[in-house]
Amino acid sequence: MPPLTIAIIGAGPGGLLLARLLLRSPPPISVSIFEAEASATTRSQGSTLDLRPGGGLKAMREAGLWDEFCAHARWSGEALKVVDKKLVTWLSRSGGSQTEPREWGAAPEIDRRVLRDVLLGSVGEGVVRWEKKVASVEVDDGTGKGVVRFVDGGEEGGFDLVVGADGCWSKVRAAVSEVKPVYSGVGGFSFSISDCERRAPEVWKLVDGGSVFGYSDSKGLNGQVLGDGSVSVSAWGVRGEDWMRERGYDVYDLEQAREGTKKEYVGWAKELTNMLDAVDDDVVPRSLYMLPVDFAWEHKRGVTLLGDAAHVMTPFAGIGVNMALQDAMELAHAIIDAAKETGKSVGKDVLDEQMRKYEKELFPRMHAAQEITDGAMKDMYFTEGAPRTSIHRWCSTVAGHDMHPLVRPVFTAALYTYFFIFRMFV
Ligand SMILES: Cc1cc2nc3c(=O)[nH]c(=O)nc-3n(C[C@H](O)[C@H](O)[C@H](O)COP(=O)(O)OP(=O)(O)OC[C@H]3O[C@@H](n4cnc5c(N)ncnc54)[C@H](O)[C@@H]3O)c2cc1C
């Protein structure tokens, strides 16, 4: 039997990890990744991601990339402060020891760009086909094989499976569903402060090697340390979908975006607005889109989805990349199991059976993650008086996600009691 032939659309973390795992499979599997970008360095790869035990960390170990991951991960980056606009601290978590990599109970940070480089380096030359922007995917009724069509008019076919790992605006999704992401109601800017310790020592002190999340008045102002000594600053707020056009200034111009944003944070503690004063790099205006929380698709032979293509969420629970990596792991197991069986069970479409199993496991897992993320967004951006009025729920939702179901109710009860008492004093 010829090896299974898999096309992966998108060289993000999910697509790359899937390729890495398939290329290590004992039964040989042929893998091609088609990526829209021209090269690995085309686009700013964004800020920092925390990898968690059941998702990203497990994936790194299974992919044989644990040591390389540990060499770049910031264990101290777990430090987190949640404050309000007056700088009242509602939650404070210290960072781990940078010299102490561990898999359980940890959520080390890694820059998105570095994670992508680690994964890219692991798949070897020639696997990623750059500048191959996909327009659509079809399954040929006659042969049952997948055909990938590109925006430049070219096409490639003969694939046993086409995997949509092409993010929020997936073109592969259209092969299985008409549903499109909807605007979450939240948008804003990502900025960057270069060489923060030297250029803005007061901000450096505030973020304390990790992250500070400021919330009030349906807005957020966040700072997160990156591995190169810069601090990524994001300013999110509840606003209409057309906010970029309605702002009356050029949202891609750093100075104009910074000055416009500062006006929205009048009355916030100077320690927080210092972050906006110090930004000197990278202005990225973003409207945050999400798939409906109950999104699922009818199974279709020859095509499936993973990561943001399957369940794009807002970043407010910080679990998107962990989900993408876990999806890639589960999908790799299913494809490798099929590759082991292919040829042995004549007349049975083992790959299709495995894809049904993968999707059956995926849907409840992704719905749980989508609900958590939606809840986290509503708690901080759509609840009057947040964080004071919602911090107990937010903590329970975000921190309780990885907990054993028996521990979670006890943890939640303790949290609610703690914040009930804490609120009496602030
Ligand atoms: C501001 C922000 C902060 C975030 N913070 C966190 C966090 O702290 N923790 C966390 O877990 N998650 C976070 N996320 C989410 C996380 O980045 C995503 O969930 C994750 O990157 C999804 O990985 P993916 O591989 O599915 O898709 P992506 O990373 O989106 O990769 C998709 C790839 O497909 C390519 N592509 C797209 N269209 C096509 C096409 N037509 N043809 C070919 N290629 C195509 C793209 O160029 C890209 O390389 C954040 C997201 C944002 C926006």
- Whether 73 is in a domain gets the answer no
Q: Is residue 387 within 6 Å of ligand 1 at its C-beta?
A: no
User: How far does the centroid of ligand 1 lie from the alpha carbon of residue 328, in Å?
Assistant: 13
Q: Return phi, psi of residue 349, to 5°.
A: -85, 85
- Residues 298 and 163 reside in one and the same domain: yes
Q: Return phi, psi of residue 121, to 5°.
A: -60, -25
Number of domains in the chain: 2
Where a domain ends, among 359, 374, 389? 374
The string of pLDDT tens digits covering residues 304-351 is 999 999 999 999 999 999 999 999 999 999 999 999 987 665 555 899
User: How far does the centroid of ligand 1 lie from the alpha carbon of residue 112, in Å?
Assistant: 9
Q: Which residue has the higher pLDDT, 252 or 98?
A: 252
- Whether 24 is in a domain gets the answer yes
Distance between CA 178 and CA 356 in Å, rounded? 19
Q: Which residue has the higher pLDDT, 406 or 159?
A: 159
Q: Is residue 14 within 6 Å of ligand 1 at its C-beta?
A: yes
Banded model confidence at residue 98, pLDDT cuts 50, 70, 90:
low
Banded model confidence at residue 169, pLDDT cuts 50, 70, 90:
very high
Distance between CA 340 and CA 220 in Å, rounded? 49
pLDDT in the model for residue 347:
55
- Residues 202 and 251 reside in one and the same domain: yes
- Residues 269 and 360 reside in one and the same domain: no
Banded model confidence at residue 144, pLDDT cuts 50, 70, 90:
confident
pLDDT in the model for residue 239:
98
- Extract the tokens encoding 323: 């989900």
7-25 mean pLDDT: 97
Pairing label, strands 182-193, 281-290: antiparallel
Q: Is residue 13 within 6 Å of ligand 1 at its C-beta?
A: yes
* Ligand 1 atom at shortest distance from the alpha carbon of 234: 1
Q: Return phi, psi of residue 91, to 5°.
A: -155, 140
Distance between CA 270 and CA 287 in Å, rounded? 26
Is the CB of residue 28 less than 8 Å from the CB of residue 131?
A: no
Q: Which of 303, 224, 233 is nearest to 262 (CA)?
A: 233
Task: Report which DSSP code applies to 68.
Answer: H
- Whether 386 is in a domain gets the answer no
User: How far does the centroid of ligand 1 lie from the alpha carbon of residue 306, in Å?
Assistant: 11
Is the CB of residue 316 less than 8 Å from the CB of residue 376?
A: yes
- Residues 125 and 176 reside in one and the same domain: yes
User: How far does the centroid of ligand 1 lie from the alpha carbon of residue 12, in Å?
Assistant: 6
- Residues 218 and 346 reside in one and the same domain: no
- Whether 84 is in a domain gets the answer no
> Between vectors from CA 201 to CA 200 and to CA 204, what angle results, nearest 5°?
95
User: How far does the centroid of ligand 1 lie from the alpha carbon of residue 268, in Å?
Assistant: 31
- Residues 239 and 283 reside in one and the same domain: yes
- Extract the tokens encoding 302: 């020859």
User: How far does the centroid of ligand 1 lie from the alpha carbon of residue 17, in Å?
Assistant: 13
Residue 162: which CATH number? 3.50.50.60
Q: Which residue has the higher pLDDT, 344 or 15?
A: 15
Q: Which residue has the higher pLDDT, 403 or 280?
A: 280
What is the edge-to-edge ordering of all strands in the sheet holding 182-193? 89-93, 80-83, 211-216, 219-225, 231-238, 182-193, 281-290
Q: Give nearest CA residue, ligand 1 atom 53.
A: 315
- Residues 274 and 314 reside in one and the same domain: no
Q: Is residue 36 within 6 Å of ligand 1 at its C-beta?
A: yes
- Residues 242 and 188 reside in one and the same domain: yes
Q: Express as a percent the part of the chain with pLDDT over 70.
A: 95
The string of pLDDT tens digits covering residues 49-76 is 999 988 999 999 999 999 999 999 988 7
User: How far does the centroid of ligand 1 lie from the alpha carbon of residue 16, in Å?
Assistant: 12
User: How far does the centroid of ligand 1 lie from the alpha carbon of residue 332, in Å?
Assistant: 19
Banded model confidence at residue 423, pLDDT cuts 50, 70, 90:
very high
Task: Report which DSSP code applies to 72.
Answer: H
- Whether 215 is in a domain gets the answer yes
168-186 mean pLDDT: 98
224-237 mean pLDDT: 95
- Residues 152 and 37 reside in one and the same domain: yes
Q: Return phi, psi of residue 110, to 5°.
A: -145, 140
Where a domain ends, among 374, 397, 412? 374
pLDDT in the model for residue 102:
62
- Residues 24 and 14 reside in one and the same domain: yes
pLDDT in the model for residue 43:
64
| 99 pLDDT above the threshold of 60 | no
| 198 pLDDT above the threshold of 80 | yes
List, in sequence order, every beta strand (DSSP E) within 15-160. Answer: 29-34, 48-50, 80-83, 89-93, 109-111, 128-129, 134-139, 146-150, 155-159
Where a domain ends, among 239, 270, 290? 290
- Whether 394 is in a domain gets the answer no
* Ligand 1 atom at shortest distance from the alpha carbon of 190: 1
Distance between CA 13 and CA 113 in Å, rounded? 10
- Residues 157 and 267 reside in one and the same domain: no
Q: Is residue 164 within 6 Å of ligand 1 at its C-beta?
A: no
Q: Which of 112, 127, 103, 104 is nearest to 24 (CA)?
A: 127
Q: Is residue 166 within 6 Å of ligand 1 at its C-beta?
A: yes
* Ligand 1 atom at shortest distance from the alpha carbon of 13: 25
Distance between CA 137 and CA 155 in Å, rounded? 9
Determine the residue type at 367.
H
9-21 mean pLDDT: 98
pLDDT in the model for residue 51:
93
| 45 pLDDT above the threshold of 80 | no
Q: Give nearest CA residue, ligand 1 atom 21.
A: 321
pLDDT in the model for residue 348:
59
139-159 mean pLDDT: 95
User: How far does the centroid of ligand 1 lie from the alpha carbon of residue 10, in Å?
Assistant: 9
382-403 mean pLDDT: 90
Q: Is residue 167 within 6 Å of ligand 1 at its C-beta?
A: yes
- Whether 346 is in a domain gets the answer yes
- Residues 284 and 370 reside in one and the same domain: no
Q: Is residue 34 within 6 Å of ligand 1 at its C-beta?
A: yes
Distance between CA 200 and CA 192 in Å, rounded? 12
117-142 mean pLDDT: 95
Q: Is residue 307 within 6 Å of ligand 1 at its C-beta?
A: yes
Residue 281: which CATH number? 3.30.9.30
Q: State the average pLDDT for the chain.
A: 93
Dihedral of alpha carbons 65, 308, 45, 37, sign: positive
Q: Is residue 398 within 6 Å of ligand 1 at its C-beta?
A: no
Q: Is residue 8 within 6 Å of ligand 1 at its C-beta?
A: no
* Peptide bond connecting 28 to the previous residue in cis, omega within 30 degrees of 0: no
Distance between CA 301 and CA 295 in Å, rounded? 19
Banded model confidence at residue 354, pLDDT cuts 50, 70, 90:
very high
pLDDT in the model for residue 95:
74
pLDDT in the model for residue 107:
82
Banded model confidence at residue 44, pLDDT cuts 50, 70, 90:
low
Task: Write out the residue range of the structural domain in which residue 237 sits.
Answer: 182-290
- Extract the tokens encoding 185: 């109601």
- Whether 423 is in a domain gets the answer no
